[in-house]
Amino acid sequence: MSVGSDHPVTRPAGEIAKLAAMLRRDFRIALSYRTAFIADIVNIAAQIVMFGFIGRLVDPRLLPTYGSSRATYMGFVAIGIAVTALMTVGTGRMTTAIRGEQMTGTLEMLLLTPTRLSTLQLGWIVYDLLYVPVRTAGFLILVTALFGVRFAVSGIVPASALLLAFVPFVWGIGAGSAGAMLTFRRGGGIFGYATMALAFLSGAYVPLDIFPTWVAGLQDLNPVAATLDGLRRALIGGGGWAAVAPHVNVVLPVSACVFLLGIGVFRIALRRELRAGSVGQY
């Protein structure tokens, strides 16, 4: 049987209603864990304080110039932290969600409902897709207020477009990671470490200039580095669409390929587990 024939017959409107139900479920569950919510706010504050101190050690002359503006370390790293948070959530959330559903025994119950796999995949991260931007905006507002960092308002829309092109890349890695977790049960953490390493080597926290030249040379094809650079050019340098377009051209095709690959890996893994009858095991 092909993977395609695995789709239950459902209406698009019905699938959207299911996404809303999954969002409501995750919101209710998140509300019930008040301590975790507070811990996340503390985590944001801790990051700001930590990078604030690190910023004092960094020589401003080492930081790149975007447009006519030289970046401050807090402005530079705030964008890196925002993208890293998106990557961490996007790549880890689906794995965590599936793992959680396996542990609670609800995964099989969900698979018994006439719901498309793509709906489930999106449903597992839809809460975070809404929460992370709010969290990131809160983080950036705090950085602006506490450290006087100024972001260019004219760069917000182009930067959002670039982020939108970047999201499928993150989601694709997340889906592939979830597929690997379904197959091997363990080892999902490897994707987390790989994501962090990729973000670090892409210049999330420090300028690429300080890396060996061969690392910096790889960045032309690295969608994370391209996204970070594009966002900084838009938000720090105030460059509009013209500054972002070359980065979108790099990010979009890679995103599309990684997305399709990740979804494919996940579906094959799920089909394999269903065939083996072990999808609920952990």
Binding site for another protein (CB under 8 A): 1, 5-11, 14, 17-18, 20-22, 24-25, 28-29, 32-33, 104-106, 108-115, 274-277, 279-280
Distances (CA, A) of 277 to 17, 30, 140, 253: 29, 31, 46, 36
Measured from the CB atom, is 9 or 134 closer to another protein?
Answer: 9
- What's the closest the beta carbon of residue 171 comes to another protein, in angstroms? 21
Amino acid in the structure at residue 195:
T
- What's the closest the beta carbon of residue 172 comes to another protein, in angstroms? 23
Q: Which of 222-240 are b and which e, b meaning 16 or more Cβ less than 10 Å from the residue's Cβ?
A: bbbbbbbbbbbbbbbbbbe
| Residue in this structure with the two tokens 């051209």, named with its chain if needed | 249
Backbone angles phi, psi at 206, to 5 degrees: -135, 150
Nearest-angstrom CA–CA distance, 258 and 269: 16
Sequence-separated (6 or more) residues with CB below 8 Å from residue 52? 74, 146, 147
DSSP 203: T
- What's the closest the beta carbon of residue 123 comes to another protein, in angstroms? 9
- What's the closest the beta carbon of residue 93 comes to another protein, in angstroms? 17
- What's the closest the beta carbon of residue 264 comes to another protein, in angstroms? 18
- What's the closest the beta carbon of residue 130 comes to another protein, in angstroms? 18
- What's the closest the beta carbon of residue 125 comes to another protein, in angstroms? 16
Is the Cβ–Cβ distance between 55 and 149 less than 8 Å? no
Distances (CA, A) of 218 to 76, 211, 225, 258: 20, 11, 9, 18
Cite the DSSP H helix spans in the chain.
Answer: 12-32, 34-57, 73-104, 106-111, 117-147, 156-184, 188-201, 213-217, 223-235, 241-276
- Give the distance between the most distant pair of CA atoms in the chain: 61
Measured from the CB atom, is 33 or 184 closer to another protein?
Answer: 33
Q: Give the total residue count for the chain.
A: 282
